[in-house]
Amino acid sequence: MKRVNGIGVSPGISIGRAFVIERKTMALTGILLQGEAEKKDEIEKFAHAVKASIEEVEGLKARAEAAREREGIDILETHIELLGDPQIEGDVTVKINEEGKTAQDAVIEVIGSVVQLFKDMDDEYMSGRAADVEDIGNRILKHLQDMSETAGSANMVSGISGAGGDRPAVSKPGGFPQQFEEDTILIAEDLAPSDTVSMDIKKVTGFATQTGGKTSHASIVAKSRGIPAVAGCGGELRTIVSNDTIILDGLEGVVIVNPGPELLDAYLAKREAYRQNGLLLLSLKDIPAVTRDGTSVKMLANISGPEDMEEVFGQGGEGVGLFRTELLFMGRDSFPTEEEQFGFYKKTALQSRQKPIIIRTLDIGGDKQWPYLGLPKEQNPFLGYRAIRICLDRKDLFLTQLRAILRAGVFGDFRLMFPMISSVQEIRRAKQVVAEAKAGLVAEGIPYVENMPVGIMIEIPSAAVTADLLAKEVDFFSIGTNDLCQYTLAVDRMNEKIRDLYDPFNPGVLRLIRYVIEQGRQHNVHVGMCGEMASDPLATLLLLGMGLEEFSMGPSSIPAIKNILVHNSVEAAKVICKEVMEMDSSQKIQAYLKAHLQEIRK
């Protein structure tokens, strides 16, 4: 028996036989083109490969539409847009024309660069989009290889794009059988988003991958179809061979290989208990999140675009606690215009059922550096020129976004939120730009929301400890626990050597969170939380006991958090909070909270 630990990305328990997916990768050929005729031929090959890829994805989309698989449709629509991205086309063409690269090499280098750009982002949702870019690159390469007489002689190496130093490689797509055996559990380095959409998964009861995370499209599809999944298992997963007996626990993020009969029986019972609990959670979808002693708690969702709204309401969400606007700015060679932004925000508003939407202004820089920004390279971009700092410096860009948001708010219930605020002076300057945007719209006779509520993210320690001062300037706070934890503990959570030090249950982090909530209450400022901690069942009662009024998370996490809230009281949560805040270590705190959570689940 062997136990492999990973990240539970789709809850549930699966028991079955392993099917190991092996991938080969396409490496650079190193061939240099001779003459304009060869360059023209390669550009035509690339155009043909893109056209064939789009037709292929449109066929997959038609199948997803027939099956009414909303998540799959959205993913494939994104892939069609990426395949037609003029920035990728332009960069590939430049490499062919100016550097003499073959179409295959140009695609590998361009896609590899974009994939790495996404992977380097600290925002988990954005880093998860690397798989989409890699997927469309693989598809183009497949069609180029089909057309190339010399493709068979290209060296084949292992690794993901960028892993080979000067000779990056991109995974070759394909390799899935048309039919799986009953109770199959897929084992792979990673699963491409289109793989999870297109393959026949009726007999697939789960999957485990070496890489990936909670917000990858493979994970999103798994959640939508109720397939347990574990990601980020690392190299230990390579020891599994096809037909091994597998227990896959998507709740704990564990893969157990060839378990003994007693453990197998225990997990069969655990699987049935989870199924029964799922029926209970489903019954809570339309029930308000009200505690046993009558306190209402808002259950909101984090989204990146209008296509996410259907899932928000399908999971029982009451609105949006974080609308990330960055997705609209990606995959382009220039900033979106005011009309493009207005249309994007308006579409979201029209699908919001007049429920509140907290829309965050542009959070760029740091981990989100796009070529057209022209940002200088910084030694420590997370402590540098980013988010509100860029917006206040590039007021023309800030004004454009603010005007679009104020206009789109006419069609919904928008609340404006600024990221990375560190001082009273910054929020005052930001509010002054809002006033300028409004004045411009008035002068032009364009309808807009005059009294849109304004709030800030509390994600920098200086903002947390001056919450009493900032509360006098805004209508609401939203605690971003991801960055607040990172900055408070001086831990880069993307750094594998110190990732274990990233700990939201550290007493210092908890004290900052409690102080922000207390100051919000004292100054009549609404306080919510949109960081990962809001979706952690271990933290739910602790946060409720601190007085948190609003939880915002990925839509699929809403039912489980609501279940904890409706079966407990604020008074009991206050007792838990008091006990926790007297403890001096994260280990003690988490053990105490786990004991209470287990009692709830009995």
Give the catalytic positions in this structure.
217, 530
Query: Which residue type, as a one-letter code, is found at position 455?
Result: G
Q: Using CA atoms, how far apart are residues 205 and 184, in angstroms rounded to an integer?
A: 6
Which residues touch 496 (CB under 8 Å, ≥6 apart)?
Answer: none
Question: CB–CB of 290/566 below 8 Å?
Answer: yes
Let me know if 167 is exposed, middle or buried by CB neighbors in 10 A (0-12, 13-18, 19+): middle
Q: Using CA atoms, how far apart are residues 175 and 330, in angstroms rounded to an integer?
A: 30
Question: CB–CB of 454/431 below 8 Å?
Answer: yes
Please provide the distance, in angstroms rounded to a whole number, between the alpha carbons at the two ends of the chain.
28
Residue 594 CB neighbours (<10 A): 12
In the numeric block, which tokens belong to residue 229?
């999944």
Question: CB–CB of 517/548 below 8 Å?
Answer: yes
β-partners of residue 156 are: 26
Q: Using CA atoms, how far apart are residues 235 and 187, in angstroms rounded to an integer?
A: 12
Which residues touch 153 (CB under 8 Å, ≥6 apart)?
Answer: none
Let me know if 472 is exposed, middle or buried by CB neighbors in 10 A (0-12, 13-18, 19+): exposed
Give the SS3 label for residue 75.
Answer: helix
Task: Give, in order, the Cα–Cα distances in Å from 468 to each of 318, 422, 539.
Answer: 28, 13, 24
Which residues touch 561 (CB under 8 Å, ≥6 apart)?
Answer: 299, 534, 535, 537, 540, 551, 553
Taken in order 400, 406, 412, 417, the sign of the CA dihedral is positive
Helices 36-66 and 70-83: crossing angle in degrees, nearest 10, is: 170
Which residues touch 545 (CB under 8 Å, ≥6 apart)?
Answer: 570, 573, 574, 575, 576, 577, 578, 580
Residue 10 CB neighbours (<10 A): 26
β-partners of residue 365 are: 368, 386
Give the SS3 label for residue 530.
Answer: coil
DSSP 362: P
